[in-house]
Chain A
Amino acid sequence: MIERSTRRQFIDRTCRLAGFVTLGGAAGLLARRASASAVYQVDPLKCTSCDLCRTSCVLSLSAVKAVNDFAKCGYCMLCPAYMDVTSMPDEKGVPAGRVCPQDALKRRVVGTVDPDDPNNNYYEYVIDEARCDGCGKCVKACLPPAGNGSLRLEIRYDRCVECNECAIQTACPDQAIVRVDVPGLSPKGHDVTHG
């Protein structure tokens, strides 16, 4: 009885030791290729605003939002990302249709206001993050030559839950969801978050 119990203990101990050695070895092997703070981000040079960011995020309201880079924005009256330029004009001659299906792109007139000629005014375009669902319609519409290309899609880290695997990355047809080591920089070094 005593002998059997010690043999059992010996096998247990050997297996446990082998387990620890295997775990330690595997962890060491993986750690050599690990990165401390890799996060997901959209590479604007690869992104084609295909609408999959809106539909494939694990969150009902996607963690991807449109962001306006005000330094690039033209503050145009006739903003192709704000209004559907192919729609019928209203009584003031401004196209009545809107690009954003969520009504998340808001504008307000800034500077000295000319009440008679809307064309003579400047407008500031701000994204309402509570409404934006990351469909990218405005981003597509703002692309040059129609717009200045000041809008782009960005993963917002206040919403991103950092899944083991990004569901958008899996779905993205352009491999535009990249892992970045330094937040704000894409792997190739161009600035992702600041224009």
Chain B
Amino acid sequence: MGEIRAARVVPLLRRFGPLLVVVAMFLSSVLVAQYQKAPPDFGGSYSFPTPTHPEPRGTWVRALDVAMLAAGLGIGAWLVLKRRSRNGVLLLSVASVAYFGFYRKGCTCPIGAIQNVTATLVDPSYTISFGVIAFFFLPLAATLLFGRVFCGGVCPLGAVQDLVLVKPVKVPVGLDRVLQWLPYVYLGFAVLFAGWGLHVLVGGWPIDVGRRFIICEWDPFVALFRVSGAFHMLAIGGGFILAGMFVGRPYCRWLCPYGGILALLSRVAWKNVRITPDKEVDCGLCADACPFGAIKDLRADRGHCLACARCYDSCPYEIERRGGPSAEVQIARLVRP
């Protein structure tokens, strides 16, 4: 008897079960909905608060970023090539770390803009903003004119490394030369990931990484500028700062993909840092003063000079030009034991 009843109930459940579920859901929603009330009239004393929506930065504030970059490049070129003033470049570095680093928190940056440009060229649906275009092209054009003045004191990443450089050690020339290829490897990977991602089979194991901006993800300094970020990024940033105290600008010279592009353009620049523009004594003090090994045979290496103006600060003729003792006196002092 029980079996027969069960045999009847099961097909019934199968037919009406879903309906029961729907009815149950409807009932429960009705039960909850009884607490819902249309926004009531609370009387005269209550006014509905309006949700605040902070406006995005206005167009003129965005334009200000570009203007600051252009001004920085212009001032940098003037300070390095015309004034030959290390102190001026130092001030510019502090200003750029303050504005582009801590105030703008490292965004937008020309180094990362490589990826936006790649993504725009590869993917037609990608939107790029005028600001990013300006940030990508302004330093490139400035480098074709005046050498790497962007690296010198405008780039906040370069500037922060330059400011912590207290006791530079000389890196062996051979090692330096090998490491100088790393930026191009990094550039290749950055373009690959920004445009396409990586989809390959390695020994049967699929590696499937979508498009991503690895330069931004692995930027060692933005976490410091934001005083916020994953622990490993803060640690890497701290590591670079520590290393940067004794090795001149490790990120700029051996990793920065934008620096790699600028090194190529700087070779054919209209004006560059020159050793020394007026007179020289072949004393080699400039080569000793250069923390980046960018003075070879007493001539500035046009590709790798980072336009920091330290060489001018050490030059006897430059000191004389600024009203110091005459170059001959200075050299005599050096030669005398």
Contacts and interface: CB of A to CB of B under 8 A. Distances in A.
Contacts of A38: 127, 129
Interface in B169-210: 210
A112 B43 CA distance: 8
Given A70-B51, A76-B35, A37 B42 contact: no
Contacts of B85: none
Interface string B22-52: 0000000100110111111011001011110
A111 B49 CA distance: 14
Interface stretch (A12-20, A46-54, A96-104): A12-20
A77 B51 contact: no
Interface in A1-38: 11-13, 15-16, 19-20, 23, 26-27, 30-31, 33-38
Contacts of B141: 20, 23
Given A35-B130, A164-B108, A16 B117 contact: no
Contacts of B161: none
B317 interface: no
B228 A110 contact: no
Contacts, number: 162
Given A16-B270, A76-B35, A37 B116 contact: no
A71 B127 CA distance: 33
Majority secondary structure, B binding face: loop
B109 A164 contact: yes
Interface in A49-76: 58-61, 67-76
A161 B269 CA distance: 34
Interface residues of A, number: 65
A78 interface: yes
Interface of A: 11-13, 15-16, 19-20, 23, 26-27, 30-31, 33-39, 58-61, 67-78, 80, 85, 110-112, 119, 122, 124, 126, 145-148, 154, 156-158, 160-165, 167, 170, 179, 183-184, 193-194
30 contacts: A12-B268, A19-B140, A19-B268, A23-B144, A27-B133, A30-B133, A37-B62, A37-B129, A38-B129, A39-B56, A58-B222, A58-B226, A58-B229, A60-B229, A67-B51, A67-B53, A70-B48, A70-B50, A74-B35, A75-B37, A112-B42, A122-B42, A124-B49, A145-B29, A147-B36, A162-B107, A165-B116, A170-B210, A183-B55, A193-B53
